[in-house]
Amino acid sequence: MSTGQYFDDEPSVASDPRPVEVSLPDLAITLTADRGVFSAEHLDTGTKLLLQESPPLTTADRTILDLGCGWGPIACVAALRAPHARIWAVDVNERARRLTAANAATVDVGDRITVAAPDGVADDVRFDRIISNPPIRIGKQALHDLLDHWLTRMTPDGVAHLVVQKHLGSDSLARWLEGVGHPVDRITSRAGFRILQVGARENT
Ligand SMILES: C[S@@+](CC[C@H](N)C(=O)[O-])C[C@H]1O[C@@H](n2cnc3c(N)ncnc32)[C@H](O)[C@@H]1O
């Protein structure tokens, strides 16, 4: 069903693709965004902070998840920064998935990014790193269910980096994560955002 939100499965708003600059200290690329997809005009401030402040990817990050990929800035940047890695880019929004696949091809990493709907990721896939600007606006319970599902699919040494606006509940989300057994470090707090580093659940 379409509700006019960026997390609709199939946005009803007319398509109007436009170029967006992803300009970071280590790389600059031009990707394509569109209406009906999160942050259709520019790289989101929180996403930019996440891409600037998350600890560098290493060769241990063999399988990476961009949870809620939108038009794909995180997936594309991760693929360029980690040429050894396989990236999964997951989103409920079909237009977002198409944009991510096209953007991955544009920056020549299409062979290492698998774009999928949430149920399109095989059950046995495990992630060394999750990088996400998660969909806070889907509501607290839905967000908790979403994070629980994907964080449980990290490798034992896996780590997630999530950017969350403070006024949208970054601190209560951190408390909830700790309450269900995920260790959380608040690694950056800037411009109204926090970056949470989340470890795999301690008893798994
Ligand atoms: C805050 S946006 C971030 C988009 C993109 N990563 C960025 O930084 O520009 C969150 C994304 O999560 C997606 N989303 C919402 N519910 C989801 C779910 N259950 N599973 C996967 N993705 C979901 C939305 O469609 C949206 O694209």
pLDDT tens readout for residues 84-103: 999 999 999 999 999 999 99
Measured in Å, residue 68 CA sits from the centre of ligand 1 at: 3
CATH topology of domain 18-199: Rossmann fold (3.40.50)
Q: What is the pLDDT of residue 203?
A: 59
Q: Residue of the nearest CA to atom 17 in ligand 1?
A: 92
174 pLDDT above the threshold of 60? yes
Measured in Å, residue 93 CA sits from the centre of ligand 1 at: 8
Return the ligand 1 atom nearest residue 132 CA. 6
Residue to mutate, 38, 148, 193, ligand 1, most ligand atoms under 8 Å from C-beta: 38
Q: What is the pLDDT of residue 7?
A: 77
Cβ of 63 closer than 6 Å to ligand 1, yes or no, is no
94/105 Cα distance (integer angstroms): 17
Measured in Å, residue 1 CA sits from the centre of ligand 1 at: 16
Q: What is the pLDDT of residues 65-84, one digit of tens each?
A: 999 999 999 999 999 999 99
Average pLDDT for residues 29-52, to the nearest whole number? 97
Assess contact for 85 and 75: CB atoms under 8 A: no
Cβ of 199 closer than 6 Å to ligand 1, yes or no, is no
180 pLDDT above the threshold of 80? yes
Cβ of 121 closer than 6 Å to ligand 1, yes or no, is no
The pTM of the full predicted model, rounded to 2 decimals, is 0.96
8 pLDDT above the threshold of 80? no
22-39 core/surface letters (b: 16 or more CB in 10 A; e: else): beeeeeebebebbebbbb
93/29 Cα distance (integer angstroms): 23
Residue to mutate, 9, 69, 170, ligand 1, most ligand atoms under 8 Å from C-beta: 69
2 pLDDT above the threshold of 70? no
Q: What is the pLDDT of residue 3?
A: 59
What residue segments make up the domains of the chain, in order of their start? 18-199
